[in-house]
Structure 1
Amino acid sequence: MTISTTKKVLGVTAAAGLIVALAGCGQAPAEDPSATSTGGGAVEGFKPCMVSDAGGFDDKSFNQLGFEGLERASAALGVEPVTVQSDSESDFAPNLTNLVNQNCTTIITVGFALAAAAGESAAANPDINYVSIDDVVDTDFDGETDSPNIKPIVFDTAQAAFLAGYAAASYSETKKVGTFGGMNYPTVSIFMDGFAQGVEYWNEQKDDNVKVFGWDRDKQDGVFTGGFAANQDAINAAQGIVEQGVDVLLPVGGPIYQSAASVIRDSGRDIALIGVDADVYETDPTVADLLLTSIRKLIDVGVEDAVMSAGKGEFDATPFVGTLENEGVGLAPFHDFEDKVSADLQGELDTITEGIVSGSITVESYLAG
């Protein structure tokens, strides 16, 4: 599947205009006084449901994080959630219809690819609350979420990826680092572009010349596998980047990091891996020894908060955008690489974080204010 350049540009421009506030900054809607609470604290009849993107709920990445947030909130509210897994894009609309037919009262869609199907389902079912992870669901690009019953939860991961790019450049001995993605969606390329910006900042500050393979900032395009499966296409993409001589590799797109890890091990070289979404060191110990760090976005926390609010009759459709300032995004610890990175690196990253939060350091992204 491909997305035209025109569509991507229009979509991200609309998204930038749409994100108007961080969750918690606006006042939540008043609780319905007629709502009856269950024993667990949820309003009567509350039924939270979730549909995954391709990759499934055990992808050790964004689908799994969404699922974990749903599970925590459901347990706290004393309700039983319903989940359906998508194996391909053709499953999106039928899965949403399935959840509507099961009388779900809040439906969470995980991933940018679900936006169109979520928008259609929300418009057809105005009495159901929808939570859209990673997309603002502005399919007509008018600067507004398609329906008032959709809450977007998105993440300016370029900020955290900037830190990862700087760290990668600091760590690299070959002066070559690389990245590749699943598909050129804004939610994928935002990692790659932020990473490249961090490398550029390192070069400016240190008068260095670390090169990035796999992403071209001018063209806003790079190396993509065409999907999000850990398959031969992902192996080929990783192999092509590794053959350029990189010693740090950032794969962006759910399970494709597993293919990157296999290529790194087969190379016989010391190549550090960077995870995305979760702290992959914790979610997948099989690659822990390879991980320099991970670029985190707290999908689980966002989902948990949205479900808890909806469960109490306080659903708030105000968009949430995760940033370094509100800790919706961040960089995981260096873990096993703590003694391998420069002693000055963490201090420099802390200073850069302060600069990004204050605005003295600019990180470009489609979600930047």
Structure 2
Amino acid sequence: MKKTARIAAVGVIATLALTACGSREDDGDKKGSSSNSDSTSSSAPTDASSPTEAAEQYPDFKACMVSDSGGFDDKSFNQTSHDGLVNAVDKYGMQTAEVESNDPSQFKDNIQAMVDQGCNSITTVGFLLADDTLASAKKHKDIDYSIVDFAYFDDKGNNTAPANLKGLTFNTAQPSFLAGYLAAAKTKSGVVGTFGGLNIPTVTIFMDGFVQGVDYYNEENGTDVQVLGWDRDKKDGSFTNDFESTTKGQNVAEELITQGADIIFPVAGPAGLGGLQAAKDNGAWGIWVDTDGCVSAAEYCDILLTSVMKGMDVAVEQGIADAAGGTFSNEPYSGTLDNGGVALAPYGPNADIDSDLSAKIDDLKQQIIDGTITVETP
């Protein structure tokens, strides 16, 4: 049975700042869920009020959001994007409304529900909402739309988005390359594993970068570390085929561990938490995605080497602020290592990354920024 759309009231959510990779000196203030939002069930969207003591620059502006499946408390993709909405509302004194999606069949109706709520800005979260977001933006030209993890280009690379629609994209292949190199350096078995939620570009971009990082380590060190779960040439690998089932994520990860993997890199939203559980149960390491896992999934911090982070909160907040301030444009945003839109989180408290390896990761990061190393992904 499919669940109805769940509407979450906005609470105060800690911003997940993008940090340069390095040792985690003090985890005391960072552990714990990054969301303390209350939620209620409803068949229709509800307003989520209202700012704290922030300067009310835009009290009549209404910023809204529609989630992908998994909801705003997924400790990953949706949650970080939602942080950007909360931060904008808190900082600028806006009104807000939001809808959580539990199934792709709800996307169109959920976007329309935000239109009906009188929203001035609507942010949709996820590659799978691209078609419905575009259709709504073309129909409602007085509303500014942003979409996380998608941009609209033709075959020649020209931006085709209407003037009121902005794509927010992130080159996560770059920090995933660093994570892959790190994994290859830390594995004891010589085998590491990755799996995704769905075989879509916004998932496989992580996996592409991860494999290239492992390959680069092998080339430099004359090793033969293997990656299970993703074949870049065949564009095929291990997938849970959803983003919700932690049981599926755990099962896939356990299969990889059975085949020898001692480091697991899940790219599957909440389903990926099952992968971290499998790693924890079997004495393996995990690498988290989208957020700093030691903040958003603190119960697994002790087995995390690091996390590949996307500054979705910052990009979402800026898109909303631009819409409220009259400076909104359809120019796509791309988060990179160079502009800080993507990054590695500080290393986990038990990762035991020595100074030489840490310096090497920093050097590789700079080579990617300089263009000396090119991380390739479709």
Equivalent position of 2:56 in the other structure: 40
Equivalent position of 1:336 in the other structure: 349
Equivalent position of 1:52 in the other structure: 67
Amino acid at match of 1:314: T
Residues 1-369 of structure 1 aligned to structure 2 (within 5 Å):
40-42=56-58, 45-138=60-153, 143-267=158-282, 270-338=283-351, 340-366=352-378
SS in 2 for 1:226: coil
In the TM superposition, residue 361 of structure 1 has moved relative to its aligned partner by 0.7
In the TM superposition, residue 356 of structure 1 has moved relative to its aligned partner by 0.5
Amino acid at match of 2:333: F
Which consecutive residues of structure 1, in runs of 5 or more, have no partner in the other structure? 1-38
Q: Once structures 1 and 2 are overlaid, which stretch shifts more, 326-335 or 227-236?
A: 227-236
CA distance in 2, matches of 1:282, 1:231: 19
Amino acid at match of 1:41: Q
Q: 1:123-162: per-residue Cα shift (whole Å, max 9, x none)?
A: 1111110001000145999843342211111000000000
In the TM superposition, residue 233 of structure 1 has moved relative to its aligned partner by 2.4
Pair 1:104–1:140, CA change in 2 (3 A): farther
CA distance in 2, matches of 1:227, 1:41: 40
Contact 1:116-1:137 within 8 A present in 2 as well: no
Contact 1:170-1:342 within 8 A present in 2 as well: no
Contact 1:48-1:74 within 8 A present in 2 as well: yes
In the TM superposition, residue 262 of structure 1 has moved relative to its aligned partner by 2.3
Pair 1:330–1:75, CA change in 2 (3 A): same
Number of aligned positions between the proteins: 325
In the TM superposition, residue 307 of structure 1 has moved relative to its aligned partner by 1.1
Which consecutive residues of structure 2, in runs of 5 or more, have no partner in the other structure? 1-54
In the TM superposition, residue 66 of structure 1 has moved relative to its aligned partner by 1.0
In the TM superposition, residue 171 of structure 1 has moved relative to its aligned partner by 0.4
Amino acid at match of 2:359: G
| Over 3 Å off, 4+ runs | 137-143
CA distance in 1, matches of 2:203, 2:343: 16
Amino acid at match of 1:147: P
In the TM superposition, residue 201 of structure 1 has moved relative to its aligned partner by 0.4
SS in 2 for 1:132: strand
Amino acid at match of 1:194: G
Equivalent position of 1:33 in the other structure: none
Contact 1:115-1:139 within 8 A present in 2 as well: no
Contact 2:263-2:279 within 8 A present in 1 as well: no
Q: Once structures 1 and 2 are overlaid, which stretch shifts more, 230-239 or 147-156?
A: 230-239
Contact 1:77-1:311 within 8 A present in 2 as well: no
In the TM superposition, residue 343 of structure 1 has moved relative to its aligned partner by 3.1
Q: 1:89-122: per-residue Cα shift (whole Å, max 9, x none)?
A: 0110000010001111110001111111101111
With normalisation by structure 1, the TM-score equals 0.85
Equivalent position of 2:40 in the other structure: none
Amino acid at match of 1:304: E
Pair 1:315–1:277, CA change in 2 (3 A): same
Contact 2:70-2:244 within 8 A present in 1 as well: yes
Q: Which structure: greater helix fraction?
A: 1
SS in 1 for 2:349: helix
Q: 1:223-264: per-residue Cα shift (whole Å, max 9, x none)?
A: 111110133322221122111111110000211221112222
Q: CA RMSD in A?
A: 1.8
Contact 2:264-2:276 within 8 A present in 1 as well: no
* Percent of aligned pairs sharing the same letter: 43
Amino acid at match of 2:237: G
Amino acid at match of 2:303: L
In the TM superposition, residue 305 of structure 1 has moved relative to its aligned partner by 1.1
CA distance in 1, matches of 2:234, 2:279: 27
